[in-house]
Amino acid sequence: MFVIKKSQFDVFASERVKAFSRKLRQFLADQFPEHVRRMGGESLDSFISLVLERAKLYGFSTERELQIFAVYMILLGVFFDDDPQYPWAKDRLSRPGLSPRQRIDLFRSRAESAVVELTRENGSSVQRLFDQFLKLDPPRIVLAASSGSYPSLIAWHTVLFPEKAAWMRMCDKEALAGRAQSLAAMAGLAGVGERLIVVAMGMLGAGFADDPQFPALGKALRANLPADEKTLEFAKAGHTLAIDWAARLEGNA
């Protein structure tokens, strides 16, 4: 009788993961060539590892399931399933009584319509990022924030991203605002930092700070700088990202 040792099973499993990773890398390069090129090898490796790790939480293991999951990690942010802006995501991904294929299809049908809504209802996402990070004068932003002239974070998010606010419950909005406040406090941002965090969350996903697709923003938040300087650096990183993101989309058009 032929016996396979545990060490051999481990090798087989490792080779299977490597094969999935190679295929997923090629799929993403075909679908999002400019985005993948600009991410670079290290960030792409981290992104693919996150795809495999997070997809596994829902029992997704086929090539098709991983591809769908990866696409929406790009379109909605790597942690979209834990993002208060997409309260319908986790429910569909983990719906009891359905097979993995049924659950990923249930999620995909809603996610596709969401992407259409995000594109149609409020114009170009890149333009909104451009408006908030490029057209504002960072020094004036910090000073204006201390005057209390900005609306609440929930109202701020609703004004900028009405299509998302429409499908979010109040508890989701409060959760997002709480995350923004916590991240700004942990990063030590000054004044308008919370508002800029909300903009980044609305544009790139609530987990943008740990998203390997946008390492510059996370790096800016972790920089050892005084509050005002760090806030300016974060705004500048958003400025650069807006230009870069526009180029990526043009390259993928």
pLDDT in tens, 5-31: 444 334 444 666 778 888 999 999 999
Residues 72 and 130 in one domain: no
pTM above 0.85, yes or no: no
Residue 234 in domain: yes
- Of the candidates 192, 189, 191, 198, the one whose C-alpha atom is nearest the C-alpha of residue 158 is 198
- 159, with CB counted inside 10 A (0-12, 13-18, 19+), is exposed
Residue 44 in domain: yes
Residue 1 in domain: no
Q: Report helix angle 227-252 to 125-133, nearest 10.
A: 150
The model's confidence at residue 153, banded by pLDDT at 50, 70 and 90, is confident
Residue 189 in domain: yes
Residues 174 and 74 in one domain: no
Residues 37 and 91 in one domain: yes
Residues 105 and 205 in one domain: no
Chain-centroid distance of CA 122 in Å reads 18
The reported pLDDT for the residue numbered 121 is 52
**What does the mean pLDDT of the chain come to?**
81
* Parent domain of 80: 6-118
Beta-carbon count within 10 A of 143 CB: 14
Residues 146 and 75 in one domain: no
Residues 99 and 176 in one domain: no
